[in-house]
Structure 1
Amino acid sequence: MTIYQSQPSNVALGNTTYKAFSETTGIKAHYRDASGSTSGTKAVTSGDLKFDLTYGFSEQILSGSVRFKLGNSTFIDRDGLIYRDVNPSNGSGIQSGLIRLGTGEIELSSWTPGQTNSLTLESLITTTDLPPINKISFRTPIIPIRPQSMTIVVASLEHGQLTLTADENGVIETSRAHGQVNWDNGFVTIYFYTKTKITEANRAEIEANDWYDPLLEYQEGVDTYINVPVWVDASSVRYNAVAYTYIPLDSEILGLSATRLPIDGRVPIFRVGGIGIVSSSKAQELPSVIAGTTYNLNDQRISWAELEDANGTKVPFDLYTVDYDYGRVTLGGDFVLGNLVAPLSVKYRYQDMGLIRDVQINGQLTFTKPLTHNYDAVDTIVGSALVIGDMQARYTRKFVQGSWNGTWADEPVGATIPANYNDALYPIQVTNKGAIQERWYIQFTSTTDFRCVGEYSGQIGTGTINADYAPINPVTGVPYFTIKKEGWGSGWVNGNVLRHNTVAANFPVWVIRTVKQSEPTVLSDQFQIMLRGDIDRIA
């Protein structure tokens, strides 16, 4: 009897999944019983190496419990990823594939070549008491979080490790994860699902799942969709984030009590029902510098404009005029450059003011009326307005006393005197342009003559009861106040005092500028305060 040794006649590439022996299918063997073929060798490049650790068992693998050897390399799992040859001193290893904790499948994309292909399982823990989830919510222990600094790692049961990051608005949006991070309070909510279109081919498969409910279906146009859950291991959730901590504000350095300020020192400036200002600042170069010429700007209905030369030197305001309604700048008829350097540029600004109807946490503001200009994101800012209300100059605290004792009190000091000023019929006249915030006293130097002294202004002049007294404000060119001659009564003697206060048409505003801690990048810096006002016009 002759026995022929087996020799390969050809090599065919194939993808075969090897499983445990089954009595139903048995073992299939292929052989030949004839000689005549020569032997040969062919190299085959293998793809990913796949095997199932829980074949035949419907159990979930606990994250971090897998350890096996392939050849001389040791492999472990970390949050859905497989690493090999981990250095015990620093924990670093080579990422070699992924593991599906729900199905037990492992895909190795990298291993040490030239070693034996014997697989030895050293550690594995499975459970049936840890139900998977498709939603996670947690809050960071330290707040606020620096935007775009959070990375969340979670192991899914079917797709391996998911690494998630949030954009500047805190939105997490991938094909399998959808969530939101609140940078201010550190609260994170993520839903895991895959948006799937329901068709006749997959409806039966979808409805066969335990989680299926007809109420989960929704329409988009003519198509029907359902969010298929992506199950994750709750114990595998990890995150990294950068949080801010703040040094307590020193009231002496700050100049005000910080008791009621937020811990980060930032005060919310936008509120529903408040006033918001949308402002765009631009610059436009004039094509020429010709006296008496009118130049049209690129925008109309502007709120502010000024002229500068090439070096940034401001052109005196009396050398040009601005038509704010039509957006035009006209150089004066006698305009000359002089020390100015051409070309000249117009810096201007246009704005819209509106009532805020809604404020979103992502910074979106909604006004009660539409904007009336076109705004570009590059040169546009949005700010809130400090509403001052109506202002009007006035005088208060008019009284008389026998003499001046050097004390700026708002009540008369000493015995009453018979002389007085009749402000019921002849009130002291003040104007918004002339009045300042000041306390005044008028002290008689004789029976008819007097001098006027301010608490901060000092002596500003002298007068007589035989003529109207109207001391001029040197800044505005109009009187601080006007006292009518008809209001003076009789009985004034040397040393008598008439006291009154003037209240200016202004509003106290604290301007505090904050610069964050950093190395200086420029040698100079500046800012500008702009007052926006409305007036009543008399035709």
Structure 2
Amino acid sequence: MGFIMPQTDNILSEIKTLKAFGATNISVKYRDTSSISASTKQVTADKLGFDLTQGFDEQILSGSVRFKLGADTFIDRTGLLYRNVDSATGSGIQSGTIQYGTGIAEFDSWTPNVDNQLTLQSLTTTTDMLPIHHVSFRTPTIPIRPGSLTVVVAAIAGSQLILTADEAGIIETAQAHGFVNYETGFVDIYFYVKTEITGANRDAIEAEEWYLPQLEFTEAGKTYINVPYWIDATSVRYNAIAYTYIPLDSEILGLSATRLPPDGRVPIFRVGDIGVIASSKKQELPSHVAGQTYQLDDQRISWCELEDSNGVKVPFDMYVVDYDYGRVTLSGDFALNALVAPISAAYRYQDMGLINDVQINGQITLTKPVTHNYDADNSIVGSALVVGDMFSRYTSRFVQETWNNVWADVPSGAGISANYNDALYPIQITNKGAIQERWALVFTDNANFRIIGEVSGQIDTGNLNSDCAPMNPTTNAPYFKVKKEGWGTGWASGNVLRFNTVAAMYPIWCIRTVKQSEPTTLSDNFQIMFRGDIDR
């Protein structure tokens, strides 16, 4: 219930002569003292209202109102009225609202049982400030923490609006419609109310100064128009939390941070890139019987390792994994030895697809459906670095008269007659055995030579009468194979055959970043996985 206290505008006096009419009986009832029939009626109002700009049409400036009501002092703040504000702390009791366009002040609470006569102490109005229905601004610091932006405005003919952006940066209410870009700090808000045009309100809408026929639109067979919701431009306030980052030290980081974003974060998901969904699980085997096959809970897995209860990995030659059907078979001579039961299988299954949509809230859409069931607790989504086809090869083959311990890719000194015929007998390289290395076969006499690598050092010896195939102990495959049929004649002590092997590898910079925090463990590790022609 609300009411407006009356204000006296004018008093008129008029004199009339009252005459008595004959044959008329006039009955009068009166009392000169109160009796038991006297009563008092108490009316409770939930609102009290005043018009501060009665008699003139001017807009009130935000923050300029101050008046007394009884013993209480009221001021305005962005469309709200506060009473008895503490000058030391700035806090007061929110007691009502004020409409800056109409001058109407309404009170939700006030001190009862006192003389509620309003005494105006301060009021500033203007006729030059036009109301607005569109606000755009940019925050001075960026980036903004998602979900932290709040915008407060005062309506010309309404109360205060408190607007909050969601995690995606969208602001959507009945009166406000906008967005915020958390990375750039740009805020854009339109104020309007979607209103259906009917026969009852069309004339009133068309009479508005802002009306244009082009503003009408149709939805579901009905005609609508966005009616501007006017706000006070001086009342716009916002609050947001922005991130501040410590500059990255290029010496510690290991690369120049000039082209990195201000927060050091690099986008890893883009439309058109490859995305990988992976789920990692660990399943305890019921036993560890040699030769026994154990079925895992999932099929079409992409990786699997066995480990004991202490996390020690079981040697790879002690079991075989069927990735298609998700089975693990222990070798016939399997024995625990130093391992501690039970044995567990740590495995992973994955889906890979092309990314066709990336949302700011983190939602990623692939061009094809996934083929496994994934749960949030055990699954991750990552980007894939597309390497393309990789194959090992050898380059820069040449002979040299004397080995001078200089690892150059071109010969030095005078030429020699001895040579190796790699046109008919090319040096054989495999992806499994080859490494990134420069090799020199240095002859110690006319038939025997040493096998030396720039990084590996001398790894073996060889001779012209047998194939040269030094073994890579990591992969149990030869580093390379030089056929005995390719050797020509005329080799002497000190001569050298030089060539380089290029491994089936791809150069990748790996940088691991740990946020500032107290250490929770003394050691940690991670794995880098290469995927080749696989989509499990």
| TM-score (norm. length: structure 1) | 0.87
| Structure 1 residue 241 displacement after superposition | 1.6
- Unaligned runs of 5+ residues in structure 1 are 1-13, 27-31
Q: Match of 1:170?
A: 169
Separation in structure 2 between the aligned mates of residue 522 and residue 224 of structure 1, nearest angstrom: 65
CA separation of 1:201/1:371 partners in 2, compared to 1, >3 Å: closer, same or farther? Answer: farther
In structure 2, what residue type is equivalent to 1:351?
Q
Aligned equivalents of 2:303, 2:415: Cα separation in 1: 54
1:300-319, aligned counterparts within 5 Å? 300-308=299-307, 312-319=311-318
Q: Match for residue 22 of structure 2?
A: none
Displacement of 1:290: 6.5
- Deviation string 1:246-273 (CA, Å, 9 cap, x unpaired) is 2222221111122222222222223333
Give the distance between the partners of 1:375 and 1:165, measured in 2 at CA. 33
SS at match of 1:215: helix
* Equivalent-residue separation in structure 2 for 1:329 and 1:179 (angstroms): 56
Q: Is the 8 A contact 2:3 2:47 kept in 1?
A: no
User: Equivalents in 1 of 2:369, 2:324: separation in Å?
Assistant: 19
Residue 240 of structure 2 corresponds to which residue in structure 1? 241
Residues 291-331 of structure 1: per-residue CA shift (max 9 Å, x gap): 4354252x443322344555545455455544333444455
Aligned partner of 2:278 in structure 1 is 279
* Structure 2: segments with no counterpart, 5+ residues: 14-27
1:177-215 Cα shifts (integer Å, max 9, x gaps): 222111111111112223334455544544443333443
CA distance in 2, matches of 1:335, 1:462: 36
**For the Cα contact (< 8 Å) 1:101–1:160, is it kept in 2?**
no
RMSD of aligned alpha carbons: 2.9
Name whichever of 255-264 and 392-401 sits farther off. 255-264
Aligned partner of 1:470 in structure 2 is: 469
Q: Once the 2 structures are TM-superposed, how far is the Cα of residue 513 of structure 1 from its aligned partner?
A: 0.7
- Contact 2:2–2:49 (CA<8 Å) still a contact in 1? no
The answer to whether the 8 Å contact 1:60/1:126 transfers is yes
Mapping 1:97-246, distance limit 5 Å: 97-246=96-245
Change (3 A) 1:321 1:495: closer
Given that residues 272 and 359 in structure 1 are in contact (C-alpha distance below 8 angstroms), is that contact kept between their aligned partners in structure 2?
yes
Partner of 1:87: 86
Q: 2:6 aligns with which of 19, 36, 57?
A: 19
Determine the C-alpha separation between the residues in 2 that align with 1:130 and 1:302.
69
Q: How does 1:287-306 map to 2 (within 5 A)?
A: 288-289=286-287, 291=289, 292-297=292-297, 299-306=298-305
1:465-519 Cα offsets, whole Å, 9 max, x none, are 1111111111111211111111111111111111111111111211101112233
Give 1:441 deviation, angstroms.
0.9
Give CA deviations for 1:365-415 in whole Å, capped at 9, x if unaligned. 443434344444444433221111111111111111111112111111211
* Match in the other structure for 1:436: 435
Q: 1:534 to 1:234 in 2, by over 3 A?
A: same
Distance 1:409 1:336, change over 3 A: closer
> Which string of whole-angstrom CA distances, capped at 9 and with x for unpartnered residues, describes residues 316-358 of structure 1?
545554433344445566767774344x654433322223334
d(CA) in 2 for partners of 1:306 and 1:210? 75
- Give the superposition deviation at 1:49: 1.4
Q: Deviations over 1:38-78 (max 9, x none)?
A: 33445443312122212343322111111111112211101
Which residue in the other structure is 2:25 paired with?
Answer: none
> For each residue in 1:94-113, what CA deviation from the matched residue of structure 2 results, as whole angstroms up to 9, or x when unmatched?
22211111221112122234
The one-letter code of the counterpart of 2:287 is V
| 1:340 correspondence with 2:340 | yes
The 3 A distance-change label for structure 1 pair 324 and 205 is farther
1-structure distance, mates of 2:417, 2:90:
97
With over 3 angstroms needed to count, the CA separation of the structure-2 counterparts of 1:322 and 1:486, relative to structure 1, is closer
Do the aligned partners of 2:471 and 2:477 also contact (CA within 8 Å) in 1? yes
Partner of 1:417: 416
Alignment of 1:439-454 (within 5 A): 439-454=438-453
- Does the CA-based 8 Å contact 1:278-1:380 persist in structure 2? yes
Task: Please give the residue correspondences for 1:67-86 in structure 2 after superposition, counting only pairs within 5 Å.
Answer: 67-86=66-85
Q: Which moved more, 1:276-285 or 1:306-315?
A: 306-315
Select which of 30, 34, 48 maps to 1:34.
Answer: 30
Q: Measure, in 2, the Cα distance between the counterparts of 1:56 and 1:521.
A: 71
* CA 25–157 in structure 1, closer or farther in 2 if over 3 Å, else same: farther
Q: Distance in 2 between matches of 1:280 and 1:214?
A: 57
| Match status 1:497 vs 2:496 | yes
1:356 counterpart SS class: strand
Report if aligned partners of 2:3, 2:48 keep a CA contact under 8 Å in 1.
no
Query: How many angstroms apart in 2 are the aligned matches of 1:524 and 1:176?
Result: 55
How far apart are residue 426 of structure 1 and its match?
1.2
* 1:257-268 matches, cutoff 5 A: 257-268=256-267
Identity level (%): 66
Partner of 2:385: 386
Count of residues in correspondence between the two structures: 514
Contact 2:2 2:46 in 1 (8 A): no
1:52 is matched with 51
